[in-house]
Chains A and B, each alone.
Chain A
Amino acid sequence: MSAMPFPARPEKPRVGLFVTCLVDLMRPSVGFAAVKLLEDAGCTVEAPVQTCCGQPAYNSGDRGTTRDLAMRMIEAFQGYDYVVAPSGSCAGMIKAHYPELFEEDPNWRAKADALATKTYELTSFLVDVLGVTKVDASFNGAVTYHDSCSGLRELKVKTQPRRLLASVEGLTLVEMKDSDVCCGFGGTFAVKYSDISGAIVEAKAKNIEEAQAPTVLAGDLGCLMNMAGKLSRDGRPVQVRHVAEVLAGMTDEPPIGAAKADAIK
């Protein structure tokens, strides 16, 4: 990636929220939690009309469609100081992969670089860019945290969510075994190679339960849906939430894969 001079941070940064497909469709409350966190940290947040970053096409080998979608994303988010996503995988797509999509097109390459430079995963944006050290939230009980792969390895998201969680009143973090090992989601992999994916997520579900925290958190909805679906299928009583919900103190909605009634008990 070409080195870009780091722009000086504006007074009240204008942040374009890249909601991501899964949050948009499945769990909008995560998006609103992200908005609250960003606004509390002094940002102006907007959510331009958007669809998908193209990752499913990219990982299926369809570069043409990926490029088309990337161009739309680049245009949709042109005017913002920063672009923030409540997902390491989708932010990673833009940051680590958009530039190389346009290797042969200097004009678009420059635009892709510009977008890549200002795009962040939510917790890393809060901690690394805005210098947030604590959030205004409380949560009663222990949680364990799963490190989603792209965030961890492409964007080095590891300490940031933990630092913010440490500031949540009443919350204790218990580490599970192998928190940095893949949950077996892998996008279309979960469906195309469901036997293998099923075996990988089974091991993950076991490690989650053995941590003996009533709640598991992560920063990517794909992984969360995978883990929640496996935990409930295997009858392991652990609640599943996106880390942003807890950091924003917005845990009124039932956990992922649970009905309203489950949440109350």
Chain B
Amino acid sequence: MTVHSTSPQFKQNAARALNDDQLQKALGNVKQGFIDKRQMAADKLPEFEALRDSARDIKNHTLEHLDLYLEAYEEKVKASGGHVHFARDAAEARDIILSICRETGAKTVTKGKSMISEEIGINHHLEANGITPVETDLGEYIIQLRGELPSHIIAPAVHLNATQVEEDFRRVHTHLDAKRDLSEPVQLLTEARAVLRERFLAADVGITGANFLVAETGTSIIVTNEGNGDLTQILPKTHIVLASIEKLVPTLEDVSQLLRVLARSATGQELSVYTTFSTGPRRSTDADGPENYHVVILDNGRSSMLGTAFEEMLRCIRCGACMNHCPVYHAVGGHAYGWVYPGPMGAVLTPSLIGVDKAGHLPNASTFCGRCESVCPVRIPLPKLMRHWREREFERHLTPATVRSGLQLWGFFAKRPALYRFATRAAMGALALAGRQRGRFAWLPMAKGWTKYRDFPAPQGETFQQRWTRERKGARA
């Protein structure tokens, strides 16, 4: 276990989110902005669909030979003067990072945006050991002030509005004039920049994530829009790259293909503002850069997904398009999912990482509308993988008893056509009679979940098969 999970309480989380007016308003922004921008970017690029195919193929190929590419990557990093550490789980990754920080004598650590750092709960661990971590991505900085998890993988503070951020800044930045004007978002941005600049200069270690690790060259790549990642990795003495095993990509040529679908799928940009390549520590001819360069590569359960149906999930390039297009995410936001990864990708990945016994709701809480799969740049069949989780739950008897017995009863009739026709004829006749007056029911026993929010339309009475037999039997001969 890493970060505490409230995934088992998904239903309660969701109910709370649905009643949170402020959150609902903030989620409205996710709905339109991201979707329209992605669509426009995709429409402008005739080869976009073909690029999605090659993105899928590149990732599949890499996963098939992951051991080879990991080795090749490690060799290259070493050759460029860096160090590679493999961490089996979150605890190992935390220990490795802590000991690097200690070797450097670090007091403050700046951090670029990294979902893996959320997954292993590194901030908490560093704090507990007397080291101050400072998030430098604006969204991450805000949620760090609030002690929250990100609610979106590319827009961590998307659940908040400017007034909430203003309150947090006033609460934390007590060294600034209490009467300053923070009514405009740009003023918040300027203040964050000023505060963070001091932190950048003071930091001993910079931790970044990686969007890609290139086996061919030993390069790690980050894409950002704020430039904070660059300062995080260039200014401190030591740069730690924290990434999971599936970030590997064979060549720079492959990366250039993946970059073309990544930003377009995420924010509708052709490329994000900064795409930064870093290879090893500073060389004598370099103007700047860290003295020490470490890469921590996390497994944390991922290698056991290889060779299973869930291997496809490891293609994910964390663009966030699936959650941007998900009606369930739109309704409840990211925190309801109860752990680090929300939305459809979280519904598949989270059970792999923390166990389906804890995260069982996530793959169930989907209508299977398929919109996520239709936009995923690496064509991950997310609904199919969620269904696989449902199958595992069913096999392991984790499916709720009410659902199981309901299914059993229905299955019993469905396998016996004569009995089915007999029973349904009687039931529908009775239901139609009862609903004749209004044509619908505001309440039905056994269907409370349905009738809590909507009426249940009454059936017409006779079943199709009944009427067909009556009207057409003779004509059919």
Q: Which residues of A contact B (CB under 8 A)?
A: 19, 23-29, 31-32, 46-47, 49-52, 54, 56-63, 65, 68-69, 72, 149-150, 153-154, 180-182, 184-202, 225-226, 228-230, 232-233, 253-254, 256-260, 262
Contacts and interface: CB of A to CB of B under 8 A. Distances in A.
Interface of B: 11, 14-15, 18, 327-328, 330-332, 364-371, 373-374, 387, 389-395, 399, 403, 407, 410-411, 413-417, 420-421, 424, 427-428, 436-440, 442, 447-450, 452-460, 462-468, 472, 476
Contacts of B447: 191
Given A51-B420, A62-B391, A192-B364, 5 more contacts: A72-B417, A182-B371, A187-B367, A190-B449, A229-B455
Contacts of A52: 410, 414
A72 B369 CA distance: 26
A181 B457 CA distance: 22
A226 B462 contact: no
A63 B391 contact: yes
A130 B249 CA distance: 47
Contacts of A154: 370
B440 A257 contact: yes
A61 B327 contact: no
A19 B387 CA distance: 25
Nearest to B413: A51
Nearest to A255: B439
B414 A193 contact: no
B452 A194 contact: yes
A101 B460 CA distance: 34
B465 A195 contact: no
7 contacts: A26-B428, A47-B472, A60-B394, A65-B415, A150-B368, A192-B403, A201-B454
A61 B449 contact: no
Contact of B465 (A47, A61, A197, A259): A47
Contacts of A256: 457
A220 to B, nearest CB: 12
Contacts of A72: 415, 417
A232 B327 contact: no
B327 A200 contact: yes
B407 A65 contact: yes
A189 B454 contact: no
B437 A59 contact: no
Nearest to A257: B457
Interface centre among B374, B390, B417, B457 (most CB of A within 10 A): B457
Given A25-B459, A193-B14, A230-B453, A182 B327 contact: yes
A149 B439 contact: no
B468 A47 contact: yes
Contact of B464 (A47, A61, A262): A47
A181 B371 contact: yes
B331 A186 contact: no
Given A61-B391, A196-B328, A49 B465 contact: yes
A182 B367 contact: yes
Contacts of B459: 25-27
Tell which of A61, A62, A194, A228 has the most Cβ of chain B within 10 Å.
A61
B328 A60 contact: no
A233 B371 contact: no
Contact of B393 (A61, A184, A194, A260): A61
Contact of B407 (A19, A60, A197): A60
A259 B437 contact: yes
A229 B449 CA distance: 13
